[in-house]
Amino acid sequence: MNMKLLMRGPSPFGRKCTFAAQYLDLSDKIEISEPESEDQIRSLNPLAKVPVLVCDDGVTIFDSRVILEFLDCLAGGGKIIPSDTAARFDALCSAAMADGILEAALLITYEGRYRPDQEPYKPWLKFQQGKIQRALETMSKAPPAIAPLTVSSIGLGCALEYMDFRKQYAWRPEFPALVAWLNEFNAAYSTFSASRPSD
Ligand SMILES: N[C@@H](CCC(=O)N[C@@H](CS)C(=O)NCC(=O)O)C(=O)O
């Protein structure tokens, strides 16, 4: 099956999908492209968010966590989402936390982007940073295993480097365990740095 992954260049949710596809050896089946228009994305995903995966049989899949599950199925299953029930829900729960970090970070970025003529609303920024801080504290106490790669480690890697990229939260001085974790993650997966966003 051939597929098209619609995403915008620096999208951290898109990066989760491109990195997972590469790891699962599915990249040659997936063409990555920018959406043609907002209307195109709205017609594929009423929430108007990327990434969206369009399969050549017409099936459309979103959001990034469902795309990862789909890619895992295509690769035979149990590759980035463990098959064992306890390990599976542990990985999915921790992946949901990493996605929550990304969502909070994105809202901080949007606060500046969509209020161009006003000061960002500080209590809202603090509210989102509180979510990031608590989630990072939780994850730093029990970071996901580096190997095998799972939806949880993919999510955490993408979330940490997205905050390096857009600077919504200066996580490095506060969480040295996660700095070490990210170094180890990058050393283990050389393709991760290849998927790093650039402006
Ligand atoms: N839960 C979604 C979040 C996707 C998301 O927020 N994507 C951003 C780009 S990184 C987007 O399309 N934002 C446009 C919007 O919120 O309208 C996922 O996991 O794919």
pLDDT, tens only, 48-103: 999 999 999 999 999 999 999 999 999 999 999 999 999 999 999 999 999 999 99
Both 144 and 94 in one domain: the answer is: yes
CB 162 near ligand 1, within 6 Å: no
Both 68 and 156 in one domain: the answer is: no
**117 falls within a domain:** yes
Q: Which domain holds residue 137?
A: 85-192
Which pLDDT does position 67 carry in this prediction? Answer: 98
What residue owns the CA closest to ligand 1's atom 5? Answer: 49
Q: Which atom of ligand 1 is nearest to the CA of 63?
A: 20
Which pLDDT does position 197 carry in this prediction? Answer: 78
Q: How far apart are the two ends of the chain, measured CA to CA in Å?
A: 31
Q: Which atom of ligand 1 is nearest to the CA of 99?
A: 19
Confidence band, pLDDT 50/70/90 cuts, at residue 1: confident
What total number of domains does the chain contain?
A: 2
Confidence band, pLDDT 50/70/90 cuts, at residue 17: very high
Q: Where are the alpha helices (DSSP H) in 4-121?
A: 12-23, 38-44, 64-74, 85-113
Both 67 and 98 in one domain: the answer is: no
CA distance 90 to 84: 10
CB 72 near ligand 1, within 6 Å: no
CB 51 near ligand 1, within 6 Å: yes
Q: Give the number of residues written for the chain.
A: 199
**Cα radius of gyration (the chain):** 17
Query: Could you report the per-residue pLDDT of 119-169, keeping only the tens digit for each?
Result: 889 999 999 999 999 999 999 999 999 999 999 999 999 999 999 999 999
Contact in structure between 147 and 188 (CB atoms under 8 Å): yes
**183 falls within a domain:** yes
Mean pLDDT of 172-192: 98
**176 falls within a domain:** yes
Q: Which of 35, 55, 74 is the last residue of a domain?
A: 74
Which pLDDT does position 118 carry in this prediction? Answer: 87
Which pLDDT does position 9 carry in this prediction? Answer: 87
CA distance 166 to 10: 10
**198 falls within a domain:** no
Both 91 and 161 in one domain: the answer is: yes
Both 173 and 102 in one domain: the answer is: yes
Both 62 and 112 in one domain: the answer is: no
pLDDT at 116 over 90: no
CA distance 117 to 18: 35
CATH code: domain of residue 156 = 1.20.1050.10
pLDDT at 33 over 80: yes
What's the whole-model pTM score? 0.97
Contact in structure between 13 and 64 (CB atoms under 8 Å): yes
Both 168 and 124 in one domain: the answer is: yes
Which pLDDT does position 195 carry in this prediction? Answer: 86
Both 63 and 122 in one domain: the answer is: no
